[in-house]
């Protein structure tokens, strides 16, 4: 058994100090240790993006980060983006424009889309498609997702 | 609030209503199988075969058993003592198929042992520590060689690897005796001006719902009941099959489909992992969980398509098609799963396409190989039929120098010919094919696109236009055509506060039925959308059901819901009539009120009537208290939605990379409840259909090794792979159900695939290309442009 | 999905990292982890120790010093892609970074990780060869400098000892360089990637460097193409002629599901021409 690592990770504004196995993936830390199950796992080769969160403000695939690496970092998950009573404009966009069907890719997709608008508040359709290219969706054909991002861009989403 | 002040409720059916499902999904609060936690939960991991074909000589589990946290290790032989071979849903003879292989492995990824451990990390470690000794046998990979018995037999007792040896259908085939009369067929081909002949493949695909499969099984000792949560499209079928496999009563099984992250057909089948989890939970008296990894899914979740056809088409010089003949060979992989053998029969059924072809003949053979078993994948049999027919029609158009649209128009079944019985025995309910064709041509700007294409060609660019027309069999039932039963069930209860709670046997996983069904019920009862709740996916809540597949939710599930609603509404009218001292036939339900026709202010609120129904003093004569009823319903026939998809493609002259520059879709699904949701369904179907044509293909090497074992080698469309889809629809209602709705879940995959390939062939026609098989791998197209053949 | 167990050690300085590498068996460096962790999850890599260098400030950032540009090995693809300095002084490097993977991968993956892993289809190596980068490497025996053209040796094999760390890549500013890539549509690695850099004076090509990735087990220069360009005018005919011999003589061309050797051979010429056209456009 390898020696455990002590990590202190701020998730959605709350500090979590835990002892973890070095091989524990950040996505499992979030899901299993913290019970934040909004972040999903859709592949094991870092393509699908279902596990996307923000680490220190930038989108990252949490299945390709060890929890130990995130020590000292600020992580934002879908649960920290907005609540039902106070939706983030991007969440609102996904709802208004039917940017989701089964919803499995949605949390990761929203995290990527927010990351995109943080960097490029008024993206073109092409830039939106490239900005969410790290997130696979099998349901929507992406068109309504593009519209959702446009909706949020229209509202001014940066934060 | 008085009646006069009550707001007038908006129209709901046919409107873009935002989805009820979304708030939990966009905030990360939905509960998928892997999100479930139970006290004492144990985790399963499967050891899987690295060999495509071989005899299990030995399995050494000793190291795994010694590892920390490991509760149990079972080989296939050990599991077979408590779990028999898995049932299937088709009547064809089928080899025994155990959840875990007992003595022989037949595809890469077939389970050979299972580990139960305290967490998933330990379970994985222990599974890796199991040593398996397999004596290799030759892998059966090529279905046409397999049919000759080469290079080996996948199963004993299935000569020449024939899973389904020979099924003829169509013109000249007596369905009762299967006797075949070739006279009409031979005559048509002998007299034809033009014969088209082409071998075509419809390649193997991996469904890839974004949520991999998963199951939690919880046997509760003492209670002697099991609850099984699974990412399934049909919890009631799961319940039935789990009970049968465990040898317990159906009353002892509760099956729950929690939030399910997409299905696309691959979550219809009840899998070995589900049976294994249930059996082990009972054995240990503890809850167990298994969650599939993606690379596991590529091997362990059923694949789709994989059927090849020798297509022959006979026509007159003017473009009239006089006969169509297909010899179909389906590579079904290593085993029959729930619907494996049935999927290619749907291909047969739909071979008339949208055309009035007087002679259509098909012969189907299904073949075992050492590959992952196939089963339903979005469209299940119908995209294959559409592809073969629409490719053949395009080849004919090319041969005759006709516009592809004209060839289709010439052969369409005419609007006034419905119901139309096809040569394959389908009875098409309704259709207006020309209107949708005209709309698509107009929306695409077909004539102008042709000019643009010709202009581009003159500039040396490789540009093509593709058009495809489809008809689909949807709204699956009746029971004669579905071994699971072809009906659906619904229950409607008016709660004591006047809100409506309904249950549906449809089990959505992205389709939005919580919304569309609420739209329908709210309008039926004249109440607010927010006052209707739809429950689904739990056999403990939904008394009966079949499930969601074959684009049946709206046409079958929606209809039965309205029927149940109608029963309750009639009863509610009796209570209201008593309260209002009116005739029940004179009442109207609108704006949350039940009132006497012509005097809208005079009525009772919905809540008042509901409240009275549960404390009915005095009880109206001949009426029982309460407001709750249920209904079963099955359609007499299927529905046949249709549509036309047009695409434009440019191929890079130097690299062979294809790129879509235009996608136009006109679909006719009959009555539409929520156009936003319908658009979304078609978008997704288009993406999958385009994916099949352009970038998706499961590849095995000659040793039966899976080459496309992850998203590193198997592509599904990304956002930047797709253009903007230009959508439109026509509405031709069906007489099969009172709503007139036909179903739309799979439609997008039907037209888009052949449209894309037709565009590619059109683009490559200056190189003498007449056909290219999918996927449109750049190298393949590049070779065609080098004149080297694909 | 689940890696095997390993010991995790985090280095806070370069020297500590080197010391940890020296003192641990079967140790691997972990920076962004985007080459290594996917392999570990599939259990294709099972290191006993990971030394995390993700927090060492010395190996991050993009700077210009004494006329040279340096990119710290720990700099992410995204930082490279969006660097104003690189956009201005060496746009080909930023372009290349923008072609890697997808946004999330670019947010975590690092230059050093990509170079040390040396996937035969990685993008950076081609560009590093074309811009004639040199890698500053520190190890138990101190500092040394390796030119990109000496660094890539074989498939997943580079000139880097077990106790050494790439600290940065240094190169001269360059405008007239470009990267052209044929994407593998699933992984988005390069089926073929070509980076071209040209030096032109008095209307004639004085020097040319062509880096090629995806073609064989590791990234290589294309000296025959370079020779064919030198002394010529940077015109289409020159480009076409030079591209026409690209890949000639190259042996052991990769062949896989996505592209046969024959197709790759043809694509080497196509993408060499495109890269050269891109470089000329920036003259």
Query: Exposed, middle or buried, C267 (CB in 10 Å: 0-12/13-18/19+)?
Result: buried
Residues of B within 8 A of C101 (CB-CB) are none
CATH class given for the domain over C57-171: alpha beta
Last-in-domain residue among A80, A99, A134: A80
Query: What sign has the CA pseudo-torsion C153, C159, C161, C164?
Result: negative
Residue B500 has pLDDT above 50, yes or no: yes
Same domain, B505 and B598: yes
CA distance B305 to C170: 52
Report ipTM for this prediction. 0.98
* Mutation to test the C interface, candidates A43, A75, A134, most C Cβ within 10 Å: A134
Q: Is the residue at B601 inside a domain?
A: yes
Residues of A within 8 A of B27 (CB-CB) are 38, 78-79, 81-84, 87, 91
| Full residue range of the structural domain in which residue B248 is found | 33-137+212-260+267-300
Q: Is the residue at B150 inside a domain?
A: no
pLDDT score, position B1: 45
Asked if the Cβ–Cβ distance from B779 to C263 is below 8 Å, we say yes
Search chain B and give the residue with CA nearest C185. Answer: B715
Express each pLDDT in A20-73 by its tens digit.
Answer: 999 999 999 999 999 999 999 999 999 999 999 999 999 999 999 999 999 999
Same domain, B439 and B510: no
Helix (H, G, I), strand (E, B) or coil at A58: strand
Helix (H, G, I), strand (E, B) or coil at C253: coil
Q: Is the residue at B199 inside a domain?
A: no
* Mutation to test the A interface, candidates C104, C110, C189, most A Cβ within 10 Å: C104
Same domain, B527 and B572: yes
Report yes or no: B541 and B556 within 8 Å, Cβ to Cβ: no
What are phi and psi for residue B108, nearest 5 degrees? -65, 125
Per the prediction, chain C carries an average pLDDT of 97
Interface partners of chain C (CB pairs < 8 Å, 3 or more) are A, B
Pairing outcome for strands B321-333 and B304-315: antiparallel
CA distance B246 to B256: 17
Residues of A within 8 A of C12 (CB-CB) are none
Asked if the Cβ–Cβ distance from A61 to C6 is below 8 Å, we say no
Element (H, E) at A129: helix A125-131
What's the token pair of residue C153? 């040796």
Last-in-domain residue among A44, A63, A80: A80
- CATH code assigned at B539: 3.30.365.10
Q: For the sheet containing C68-72, what is the strand order?
A: C62-65, C68-72, C165-171, C134-139, C142-147
Pairing outcome for strands B42-48 and B288-291: parallel
Residues β-bridged to residue C137: C144, C166
Q: A16 at the B interface (CB within 8 A)?
A: no
Instruction: Give me the number of domains chain B comprises.
Output: 3
Same domain, B516 and B565: yes
Same domain, A9 and A72: yes
Dihedral over alpha carbons A91, A93, A94, A97 (to 10 degrees): 160
Express each pLDDT in C161-177 by its tens digit.
Answer: 999 999 999 999 999 99
CA distance B668 to B641: 6
Asked if the Cβ–Cβ distance from A140 to B261 is below 8 Å, we say no
Average pLDDT over residues B81-98: 95
Residues of B within 8 A of A35 (CB-CB) are 37
Search chain B and give the residue with CA nearest C183. Answer: B657
CA distance C40 to C270: 35
Closest Cβ opposite residue B707 in set C1, C187, C257: C257
Asked if the Cβ–Cβ distance from A58 to C78 is below 8 Å, we say yes
Ranges of CATH 3.30.390.50 domains, chain C = 177-281
Express each pLDDT in B556-578 by its tens digit.
Answer: 999 999 999 999 999 999 999 99
What band does B5 get if pLDDT is binned at 50, 70 and 90? Answer: low
Instruction: Give me the number of domains chain A comprises.
Output: 2
CA distance B683 to B747: 10
What band does B790 get if pLDDT is binned at 50, 70 and 90? Answer: very low
- CATH code assigned at B296: 3.90.1170.50
Mean pLDDT lowest for which of B173-187, B320-334, B477-491, C213-227? B477-491
Residues of A within 8 A of B34 (CB-CB) are 31, 37, 40-41
Same domain, B248 and B291: yes
Same domain, B131 and B237: yes
CA distance B88 to B484: 10
What are phi and psi for residue B205, nearest 5 degrees? -130, 155
Search chain A and give the residue with CA nearest B674. Answer: A98
Q: Look up the CATH number of domain C7-52.
A: 3.30.43.10
Closest Cβ opposite residue B128 in set C1, C43, C186: C43
CA distance A157 to B48: 47
Same domain, A11 and A31: yes
Residue C208 has pLDDT above 90, yes or no: yes
What is the 3-class SS of B170-215, one letter each residue? ECCECCCCCCECCHHHHHHHHHCCEEEEEEEEEEEECCCCCCCCEE
**% residues pLDDT > 90 (chain B):** 95
CA distance C209 to C206: 11
Listed in sequence order, the residues at least 6 apart from B79 whose beta carbon sits closer than 8 Å to its beta carbon are B98, B99, B100, B114, B276, B279
Asked if the Cβ–Cβ distance from B687 to A145 is below 8 Å, we say no
Express each pLDDT in B150-189 by its tens digit.
Answer: 999 999 999 999 999 999 999 999 989 999 999 999 999 9
Same domain, A40 and A58: yes
Same domain, B592 and B648: no
What are phi and psi for residue C127, nearest 5 degrees? -70, -40
CA distance B554 to C156: 54
Same domain, B21 and B44: no
Report yes or no: B339 and B550 within 8 Å, Cβ to Cβ: no
Express each pLDDT in C117-138 by its tens digit.
Answer: 999 999 999 999 999 999 999 9
Residues β-bridged to residue B412: B355
CA distance B110 to B134: 13
Asked if the Cβ–Cβ distance from B27 to A138 is below 8 Å, we say no
| Full residue range of the structural domain in which residue A113 is found | 89-155
CA distance C206 to B559: 78
- Kindly report the CA angle at C243 between C238 and C246, in degrees rounded to 5? 140
Per the prediction, chain B carries an average pLDDT of 96
Asked if the Cβ–Cβ distance from B711 to C187 is below 8 Å, we say yes
Residue B748 distance to chain C (closest CA, Å): 22
Q: Is the residue at B350 inside a domain?
A: no
Last-in-domain residue among A80, A98, A113: A80
**% residues pLDDT > 70 (chain A):** 97
**What residues in chain C have their Cβ under 8 A from chain A's Cβ atoms?**
1-8, 10, 30, 33-34, 37-38, 40-42, 50, 52, 54-55, 78, 82, 101-105, 107-108, 186-187
Asked if the Cβ–Cβ distance from A46 to C34 is below 8 Å, we say yes
Search chain B and give the residue with CA nearest C181. Answer: B655
Same domain, A74 and A109: no
Residues β-bridged to residue B364: B167, B328
CA distance B579 to B571: 13
Report yes or no: B28 and A36 within 8 Å, Cβ to Cβ: yes
Same domain, B118 and B252: yes
Residue B397 has pLDDT above 90, yes or no: yes
Asked if the Cβ–Cβ distance from A46 to C38 is below 8 Å, we say yes
Closest Cβ opposite residue B655 in set C1, C4, C270: C270
**What residues in chain C have their Cβ under 8 A from chain B's Cβ atoms?**
1-2, 4-5, 42-43, 102, 182, 185-187, 257-260, 263, 266-267, 270
Residue B721 has pLDDT above 70, yes or no: yes
CATH class given for the domain over C177-281: alpha beta
pLDDT score, position B596: 95
Report, in angstroms and rounded to the nearest whole number, the Rg of chain C calculated over CA atoms.
Answer: 19
Search chain A and give the residue with CA nearest B207. Answer: A138
Search chain C and give the residue with CA nearest B708. Answer: C257
Q: Is the residue at B229 inside a domain?
A: yes
* Mutation to test the C interface, candidates B297, B707, B715, B790, most C Cβ within 10 Å: B715
- CATH code assigned at A150: 1.10.150.120
CA distance C199 to C201: 7
DSSP-assigned letter for residue C26: T
Residue A133 has pLDDT above 60, yes or no: yes
Express each pLDDT in B230-283 by its tens digit.
Answer: 999 999 999 999 999 999 999 999 999 999 999 999 999 999 999 999 999 999
Residues of C within 8 A of A44 (CB-CB) are 1, 38, 41-42
Same domain, A94 and A38: no
Nearest Cα neighbor of B673 from B737, B740, B736, B620 is B740
Same domain, B74 and B95: yes
Of chain C, the end-to-end C-alpha distance in Å amounts to 47
CA distance B435 to B420: 18
Ranges of CATH 3.30.465.10 domains, chain C = 57-171
Asked if the Cβ–Cβ distance from B708 to C257 is below 8 Å, we say yes
Q: B633 at the C interface (CB within 8 A)?
A: no
Report yes or no: A124 and A146 within 8 Å, Cβ to Cβ: no
Average pLDDT over residues B58-84: 98
Ranges of CATH 3.30.43.10 domains, chain C = 7-52
Per DSSP, which regions of B506-657 are E strands?
532-536, 587-590, 593-596, 599-605, 628-633, 642-651
Question: Does pTM top 0.95 for this prediction?
Answer: yes
Report, in angstroms and rounded to the nearest whole number, the Rg of chain A calculated over CA atoms.
Answer: 16
Same domain, B527 and B606: yes
**% residues pLDDT > 70 (chain B):** 99
Q: Is the residue at B191 inside a domain?
A: no
DSSP-assigned letter for residue B562: H
Interface partners of chain B (CB pairs < 8 Å, 3 or more) are A, C
Burial letters for A79-110: b for 16+ Cβ neighbours within 10 Å, e otherwise? bbbbeeeebbbbbbbbbbbbbbbbbbbbbbbb
Q: B543 at the C interface (CB within 8 A)?
A: no
Report yes or no: C133 and C114 within 8 Å, Cβ to Cβ: no
Same domain, B714 and B644: yes
Report yes or no: B777 and B203 within 8 Å, Cβ to Cβ: no
Burial letters for B258-293: b for 16+ Cβ neighbours within 10 Å, e otherwise? bbbbbbbbbbbbbbbbbbbbbbbbbbbebbbbbbbb
CA distance B533 to B527: 12
């Amino acid at each position: 058994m390898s020696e455990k690592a002590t990590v202190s990770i701020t998730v959605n504004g709350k500090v979590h100090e835990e002892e973890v196995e070095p091989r524990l993936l950040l996505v499992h830390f979030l899901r299993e240790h913290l019970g934040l199950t909004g972040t999903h796992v859709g592949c094991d080769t870092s393509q699908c993006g279902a596990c996307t969160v923000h680490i220190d403000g930038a989108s990252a695939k949490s299945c390709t980060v060890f929890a130990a690496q995130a020590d000292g970092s600020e992580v934002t998950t879908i649960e920290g983006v907005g609540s039902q009573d106070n939706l983030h404009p991007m969440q609102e966009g996904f709802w208004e424009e039917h940017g989701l069907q089964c919803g499995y890719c949605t949390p990761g997709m929203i995290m990527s889309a927010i990351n995109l608008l943080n960097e490029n508040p008024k993206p073109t359709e092409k830039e939106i498609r490239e900005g969410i290219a790290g997130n696979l969706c099998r349901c929507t054909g992406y068109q309504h997702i593009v519209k959702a991002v446009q909706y949020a861009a229209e509202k001014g989403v940066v934060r | 609030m008085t009646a006069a002040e009550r707001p007038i409720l908006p129209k709901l059916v046919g409107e873009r209503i935002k989805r009820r499902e979304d708030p939990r999904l966009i905030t990360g609060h939905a509960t998928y199988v892997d999100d479930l936690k139970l006290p004492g939960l144990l985790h399963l991991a499967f050891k899987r075969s690295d060999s495509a074909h071989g005899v299990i000589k030995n399995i050494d589990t000793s190291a795994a058993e010694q590892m920390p946290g490991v509760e149990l290790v079972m080989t296939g032989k050990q599991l077979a003592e408590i779990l028999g071979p898995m049932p299937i849903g088709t009547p064809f003879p089928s080899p025994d198929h155990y959840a875990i292989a007992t003595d022989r492995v037949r595809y890469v990824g077939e389970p050979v042992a299972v580990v139960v451990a305290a967490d998933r990390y330990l379970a994985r470690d222990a599974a890796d520590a199991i040593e398996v000794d397999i004596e290799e046998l030759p892998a059966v990979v090529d279905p046409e060689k397999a049919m000759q018995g080469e290079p080996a037999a996948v199963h004993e007792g299935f000569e020449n690897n024939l899973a389904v040896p020979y099924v003829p259908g169509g013109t000249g085939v007596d369905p009762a005796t299967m006797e075949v009369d070739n006279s009409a067929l031979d005559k048509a081909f002998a007299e034809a001006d033009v014969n088209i002949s082409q071998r075509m493949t419809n390649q193997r695909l991996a469904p890839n719902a974004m949520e991999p499969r998963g199951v939690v099984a919880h046997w509760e000792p003492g209670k002697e009941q099991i609850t099984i949560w699974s990412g399934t499209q049909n919890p009631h079928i799961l319940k039935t099959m789990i009970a049968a496999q465990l040898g317990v009563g159906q009353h002892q099984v509760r099956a729950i489909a929690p939030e399910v992250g997409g299905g696309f057909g691959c979550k219809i089948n009840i899998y070995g992992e589900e049976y294994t989890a249930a059996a082990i939970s009972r054995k240990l008296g503890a809850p167990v969980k298994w969650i599939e990894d993606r690379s596991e899914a590529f091997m362990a979740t059923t694949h789709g398509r994989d059927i090849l056809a020798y297509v022959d088409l006979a026509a007159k010089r003017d473009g009239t098609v006089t006969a169509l003949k297909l010899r179909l060979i389906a590579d079904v992989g290593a085993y029959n799963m729930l619907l494996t053998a049935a999927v290619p029969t749907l291909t047969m059924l739909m071979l008339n396409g949208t055309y009035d072809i007087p002679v259509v003949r098909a012969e189907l053979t299904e073949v075992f190989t050492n590959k992952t078993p196939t089963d339903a994948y979005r469209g299940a049999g119908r995209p294959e039929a559409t592809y073969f027919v629409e490719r053949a029609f395009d080849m004919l158009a090319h041969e005759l120098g006709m516009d592809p649209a004209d060839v289709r128009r010439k052969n369409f079944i005419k609007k006034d010919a419905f119901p139309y019985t096809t040569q394959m025995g389908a009875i098409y309910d309704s259709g207006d094919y020309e209107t949708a064709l005209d709309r698509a041509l107009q929306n695409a700007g077909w004539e102008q696109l042709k000019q643009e294409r010709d202009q581009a060609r003159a500039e040396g660019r490789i540009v093509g236009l593709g058009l495809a027309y489809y008809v689909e069999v949807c709204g699956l039932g009746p029971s004669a055509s579905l071994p699971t039963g072809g009906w659906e069930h619904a229950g409607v209860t008016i709660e004591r506060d006047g809100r409506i709670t309904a249950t549906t046997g449809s089990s959505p996983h992205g389709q939005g039925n919580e919304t569309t069904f609420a739209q329908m019920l709210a309008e039926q009862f004249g109440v607010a959308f927010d006052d209707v709740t739809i429950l689904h996916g739990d056999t403990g809540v939904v008394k009966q059901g079949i499930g969601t597949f074959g684009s049946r939710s709206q046409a079958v599930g929606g209809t039965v819901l309205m029927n149940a609603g109608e029963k309750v509404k009639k009863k509610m009218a009796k209570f209201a009539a008593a309260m209002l001292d009116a005739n029940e036939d004179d009442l109207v339900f609108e704006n949350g009120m039940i009132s006497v026709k012509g005097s809208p202010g005079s009525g009772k609120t919905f809540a008042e009537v509901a409240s009275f129904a549960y404390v009915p003093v005095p009880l109206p004569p001949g009426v029982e208290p309460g407001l709750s009823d249920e209904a079963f319903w099955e359609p007499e026939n299927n529905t046949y939605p249709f549509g036309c998809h047009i695409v434009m493609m440019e191929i890079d002259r130097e690299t062979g990379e294809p790129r879509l520059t235009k996608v136009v879709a006109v679909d006719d699904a009959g009555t539409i409840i929520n156009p936003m949701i319908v658009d979304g369904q078609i978008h997704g179907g288009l993406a999958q259909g385009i994916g099949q044509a352009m970038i998706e293909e499961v590849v095995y090497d000659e040793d039966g090794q899976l080459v496309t074992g992850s998203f590193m080698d198997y592509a599904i469309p990304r956002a930047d792979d797709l253009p903007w889809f230009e959508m439109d629809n026509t509405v031709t209602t069906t007489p099969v159900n009172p709503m007139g709705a036909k179903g739309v879940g799979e439609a997008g995959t039907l037209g888009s695939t052949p449209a894309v390939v037709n565009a590619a062939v059109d683009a490559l026609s200056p190189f003498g290309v007449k056909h290219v098989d999918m996927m449109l791998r750049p190298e393949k197209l590049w070779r065609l442009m080098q004149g080297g053949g694909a | 999905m689940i890696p095997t167990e390993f010991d995790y050690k985090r280095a806070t300085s370069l020297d500590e990292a080197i010391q940890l590498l020296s003192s641990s068996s079967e140790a691997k460096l972990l920076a962004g982890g985007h080459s290594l962790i996917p392999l570990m999850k599939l259990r294709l890599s099972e290191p006993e120790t990971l030394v995390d260098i993700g927090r060492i400030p010395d190996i991050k950032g993009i700077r210009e010093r004494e006329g040279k540009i340096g990119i710290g090995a720990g700099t992410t693809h995204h930082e490279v892609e969006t660097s104003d300095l690189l956009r201005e002084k060496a746009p080909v490097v930023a372009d290349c970074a923008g072609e890697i993977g997808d946004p999330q991968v670019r947010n975590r993956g690092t230059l050093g990780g990509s170079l040390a892993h040396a996937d035969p289809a990685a993008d950076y190596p081609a560009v590093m060869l074309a811009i004639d980068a040199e890698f500053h490497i520190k190890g138990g025996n101190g500092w040394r400098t390796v030119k990109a053209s000496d660094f890539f040796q074989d498939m997943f094999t580079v000139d880097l000892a077990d106790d050494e760390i790439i600290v940065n890549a240094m190169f001269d500013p360059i405008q007239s360089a470009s990267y052209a890539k044929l994407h593998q549509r699933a992984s988005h690695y390069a089926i073929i990637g070509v980076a071209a850099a040209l030096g032109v004076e008095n209307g004639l090509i004085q020097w040319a460097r062509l880096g090629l990735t995806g073609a064989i087990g590791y990234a290589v220069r294309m000296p025959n193409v370079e020779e064919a360009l030198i002394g010529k005018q940077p015109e289409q005919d020159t480009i076409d002629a030079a591209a026409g011999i690209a890949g000639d003589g190259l042996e052991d061309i990769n062949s896989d599901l996505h592209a046969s050797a024959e197709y790759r051979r043809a694509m080497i010429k196509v993408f060499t021409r495109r890269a050269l056209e891109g470089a000329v456009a920036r003259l």
